[in-house]
Structure 1
């Protein structure tokens, strides 16, 4: 690890404190007290009280010391024993796409849903259809979040399973990874996918055994382009409602800064418009697809927020989903589904030439680049491209981010340290798919090292941990629990040596992702001069049994000293968002069939940016 990185790690927590202005003569707007304050500042890890002025932290310390800032207009807020922490910083998620969960049948397994087998999946879709039909004419049955790893049958549903729900209405269900989907026979017909349709580059149309007839399961580009060909454009109002709904869900889990981890140049202005209209309460940093519109990235990338929104950089996606067997590995999968060749190791979504050229462009133009890389083979490509670009342009503070790194090798972690790459890892996989990785994707030995936070800390590196919603709910306490315990759904612990303690896991949700976003001077810790972005938890996470971390609750979320979420109370913005989302669902479902025919069944991926193609493409 370079001296530069070691120095950053050492001084990060105290850098703002040293430069904070002296405001001791000022009167605070608020004084928070009456509960533990976890600051994420190594120089002052805990405190008794915090004083706030004009949306920023005035001072932190003992209750007695903070009384010096109390005036006649100061609001004293008693935590009543609850814990105050910095607001969570979303290290990787899809704020715009979280709204998809609001317009779909919930096909998630427990604890987030009730689907456990194909029968219950069918029943959930029927129930959703019945509920929607009570208030509107339904043109599409849409479900989100099924996971073949959690279904009793241990397989994907097929078109025949969905035909049993409806043969007359098109049905589209989306895998929890968002890299795979299933269409019933009617939807396949409308998408123009037949036995004669070839596999697109970077995708697979799964076939029925012994024939070329599609079985309904579409992987990667086959799914994105196939569904995109039949769905109409979102109106600006629909798009904004989707975005607002996503940010509202994030703040319910304590996030004061969100991320849209893969946007397009046509979606960004819609998010900007929602922000300008004051419809979002949190900050959102977005990263635009580097293969889609580089000129747009150059024109719009900024380190400064405008109305709580900014284009932060570029996004590159190299491979797919590890649980869906589409991540690009350096070796064959351990126990893939029937029909795969013995040497199958996934495939790339971006060619090696595209990877090297994209990284080169980002480094040349000073653009921060986030790269989706799950398999070892994908990470080999990324690290080689970064090494080449660093040698060409020299070492600088670029903070290139590797997103996910599920199947990293130990030598790759050493290379990450050497190249000054920031790892944003996905330890929540140990809960949702840990058993699946152990038994199917990588086997019991390598499963212990998925999302290797322990190896990263051995090199003294910071890391961030993320939720990747809507792949899963943006449940901050589930993120925290999985990072600390690495306990799977079955109760197994994957990789005891990769576990970290609670303070480290909290830093991976606060100060370290703030650093990842070049925002450590403003966010991520409770220090004088920083924004008063807080989350109030039901208990002190450092004082409870680690096995109980997932049961902690977000009581309040505070942005710049303003309460933006309180448990049990819906804000006016949330009510408006719910109304807009409901209207969006109604309009979308009513218009879908007409728009599908208007788009034409042969326009595979070359038509307008449509819901599933443009908005879901590239989800992790």
Structure 2
């Protein structure tokens, strides 16, 4: 990933940094020499949008992604309820209604299989949950004075009865009943998650939302990450996005322009090479799968007047985003629909003009539908788009149905981002989809779903471009191209050892390439050598 030196036969690391490459090491000695004969060594992989704590927690929850029928879903939930004390929460992850022909679990069945336990089922998009009547009652939805708020939809059937499906911010009413998680629980989740990352060659990641909103797990979540670092269970370097909902009013000198942020003036960039504060995360709209992303034209999935919706009052969001940008924060805007991306661009353009650029770029998380005109504006304002290649094999059929074929070429773009001069990073949104890097690199190249169908063939990229996305592209997207993403002196000693060279392998076999070792700062955190 170094244009000046595309390949080399040796790398030297000291004190966690690359100190020499190739012939620069002639005659050198080392405390440890590793013979990687026959293997390919790349910069460590960097997933710049994942949910590490959520993923780690899901490893102990009921996994509904493996169930093949709704009866299997009910049976799995009933088993967990039978193992749980009365009143204990039954929490499940990985449910995708599209897998069941658009059906959700029936609330009457959920009530019958767990009459003494509240049930909370996370939709795998993260933008909805399914609960039983016990949970609805505890959360106040069944109260006579319940009133629905903007961006918080509790779905009802044709008789006006709650179905148990809660969209977007409506989830928070239920989450408040079991949040916050303890520091110990979060540290344990980080431990489990980064053990998996080590086996996959992931040496860096961005946690896409902590400390607040429906995506956070505790207002003390940064402290849990610090504990994980101190105790050695944070195995990969972490950049943490703080939820905009976690930022609060501050007071300082009137010239400081810091009216909204974190105590002590902590902001984007604070931390060290292993644990650092990234942008603030703000949800502008919802998801394509849930038909809640804000679109300029209606969806094509049988709801002709549905354009999705914003997560809150647009003007209030605008003022809060500008306030935190003024205070020194970069912005990571979850924006999937083109209408939400238009709004994000307006805010970015105003903020950059009024308060200057940021060393950590502003970002569009996902970018589900981006028009050609928006590409030019994104490049001009210096923003990064963070698409997820794994969405195509996982959800391509559903997204194509929602958008209609005429808009698929604008969806989860890759090649056109590169052509526009916008850095292309690698990311997964794990656990929404698999975070395993090599299958996602293959997905970047193939863009296949449902067997032989191709989702926007014009957005395919080369294997080299896909590898660059998960290395140097991710470093550029996080403002750290000077630290990581390529193997050259001065950068961090983070590597992945592969049993085959992806550039020389058939594309359809890239996902089968084995990770033989992972190195962070010169230390092997996974070793099959």
For normalisation by structure 1, the TM-score amounts to 0.77
* In structure 2, C-alpha distance between the alignment counterparts of 1:297 and 1:474, rounded to whole Å: 33
Q: Structure 2: 5+ residue runs without aligned partners?
A: 212-218, 248-259
Shift of 1:335: 0.8
Q: Which residue matches 2:103?
A: 155
1:490/1:193 CA distance change after superposition, 3 Å = farther
Residues 159 and 295 of structure 1: CA distance in aligned 2, closer, same or farther (over 3 Å): same
Distance in 2 separating the partners of 1:500 and 1:393 = 35
- For residues 350-365 of structure 1, the aligned pairs below 5 Å read 350-365=312-327
How far the C-alpha of 1:238 sits from its partner, in A, is 1.8
Please identify, of 492-501 and 424-433, the stretch whose mean Cα deviation from structure 2 is larger.
424-433
2:58 aligns with one of 93, 101, 109: 101
Q: Does structure 2 retain, via aligned residues, the 8 Å contact 1:195–1:214?
A: no
User: Aligned pair in 2 of structure 1 residues 178, 302: CA closer, same or farther (>3 Å)?
Assistant: closer
Residue equivalent to 1:331 = 297
Q: Secondary structure at 1:531's aligned position in 2?
A: coil
Deviation (angstroms), 1:435 = 0.7
1:39-54 correspondence runs (5 A)? 40-54=1-15
Q: Which residue of 2 aligns with 1:564?
A: 525
8 A contact 2:370–2:411 mirrored in 1 = yes
56 and 232 in structure 1: CA distance in 2 versus 1, 3 angstrom threshold:
closer
Contact kept in structure 2, 1:521 and 1:530, CA below 8 Å: yes
Is this contact kept in 2: 1:406–1:426, CA < 8 A? no
Q: Is the 8 A contact 2:349 2:381 kept in 1?
A: yes
Q: Give the match for residue 180 of structure 1.
A: 128
Q: Is 1:384 the equivalent of 2:346?
A: yes
Separation of aligned partners in 2, 1:274 and 1:190: 33
Provide, for residues 580-599 of structure 1, a one-character-per-residue CA deviation record: whole Å limited to 9, x for no partner: xxxxxxxxxxxxxxxxxxxx
Cα pair 2:268 2:330 within 8 Å, conserved: no
Choose which of 154, 167, 178 in structure 2 pairs with 1:205: 154
Worse-matched range after superposition: 417-426 or 120-129: 120-129
Offset of residue 234 of structure 1: 2.3
Contact in 2 for aligned 1:359/1:386 (Cα 8 Å): no
2:191 aligned to 244, 247, 250, which one? Answer: 244
CA distance in 2, matches of 1:304, 1:557: 26
Structure 2 length as normaliser, TM-score? 0.90
Indicate the SS of the match to 1:92: strand
Q: In the alignment, which residue of structure 1 is the partner of 2:283?
A: 317
* Native 8 Å contact 1:251 1:557 kept in 2: yes
**Corresponding residue for residue 346 of structure 1:** 308
8 Å Cα contact 2:330-2:358 kept in structure 1: no
Instruction: Report the counterpart of residue 333 of structure 2 in structure 1.
Output: 371
Pairing 1:433-472 to 2, within 5 Å after superposition? 433-439=395-401, 441-472=402-433
Local SS of the residue matching 2:209: strand
CA distance in 2, matches of 1:260, 1:229: 21
8 Å CA contact 1:275, 1:307 repeated in 2: no
List per-residue Cα deviations over 1:103-157 (Å, max 9, x = no partner). 211111xxxxx22331222233345556x56xx8882221101101122x32222
> 1:335/1:484 Cα in 2 relative to 1: closer, same or farther (>3 Å)?
same
Greater RCO (Cα-Cα under 8 Å, separation 6 or more): 1
Q: Relative to 1, partners in 2 of residues 1:171 and 1:395: Cα closer, same or farther, differing over 3 Å? A: closer
Change beyond 3 A, Cα 1:274–1:74 = closer
Gapped runs of 5+ residues in structure 1? Answer: 1-39, 109-113, 569-620
**Are the aligned partners of 1:170 and 1:187 in contact in 2 as well (CA < 8 Å)?**
yes
CA distance in 2, matches of 1:178, 1:302: 25
Aligned residue in 2 for 1:586:
none
- Is the contact made by 2:261 and 2:327 (CA closer than 8 Å) also made in structure 1? no
Tell me, yes or no, if the aligned pair for 1:263 and 1:286 is still in contact at 8 Å: yes
Contact 2:86 2:116 in 1 (8 A): no
**RMSD of aligned Cα (Å):** 2.3
Distance in 1, Cα, partners of 2:91 & 2:325:
40
Give the CA deviation at 1:323.
Answer: 0.9
Q: C-alpha displacement at 1:368, in angstroms?
A: 1.7
User: 8 Å contact 1:320–1:328 — kept in the other structure?
Assistant: yes
CA distance in 2, matches of 1:298, 1:374: 33
